[in-house]
A = this chain, B = another copy of it.
């Protein structure tokens, strides 16, 4: 760090894929559930298909074609659309609801507990996720994540990458946008954060979509910081 570097007074984190490993968590719960169902199900493919519906579903809220719907409801609509494709008709209503709430029980990537504790010592750490507050609270409790503050798109009734989410987060934390750094594994999120005036830290998560899936990292030069994990981010910030 030099004196000219931005202060990074607060870090706001994307959560699905950046902080928590949604793919492995869904596959793990699916395998346990599948054992009860008594038939083989391609859970890695199921997890990817479920996730693939997410951005299109958010887009319908962003473009105003439907009103505000939280992520539990969007996930449930998407899940219902996958039941036949993946042979999950035998799931009871209670099992479907439980499966839908797997998004409240996603494990952090292995570097996160230690890295987040280091980062928190030196600056404010908050979520900035399209997940709603109640979901983010459950994830924090599930994974032992010591957020200073849980910020969500829900607070602004807008979904990332809409600029009011990034600017609103900085304002709630009492900072100018340039004092806040968005941390994410997704270039589109970071580009939108940059356009809203925030700094950007790219965390490469090559396993986000599972083992053996292709991964092409974005160019480091697109971001203020680019690292492989939260420990490296802490080291880069001098924490």
Chain A positions near chain B (C-beta within 8 angstroms): 124, 126, 132-137, 140-141, 146, 148-150, 154-155, 172-175
Contacts and interface: CB of A to CB of B under 8 A. Distances in A.
Contacts of A132: 172, 174
Contacts of A173: 133-134, 137
A148 B137 contact: yes
Contacts of A141: 124, 148
Each complex incorporates copies of this chain amounting to 2
20 contacts: A124-B137, A126-B137, A132-B172, A133-B172, A133-B173, A133-B174, A134-B172, A134-B174, A134-B175, A135-B174, A136-B149, A137-B148, A137-B173, A140-B148, A141-B148, A146-B146, A149-B149, A149-B150, A150-B150, A154-B172
Contacts of A154: 172
B124 A149 contact: no
A167 to B, nearest CB: 14
The 10 A-B residue pairs with the shortest CB-CB distance, nearest first, are: A134-B174, A133-B172, A149-B150, A137-B148, A137-B149, A134-B173, A155-B155, A124-B137, A141-B148, A140-B148
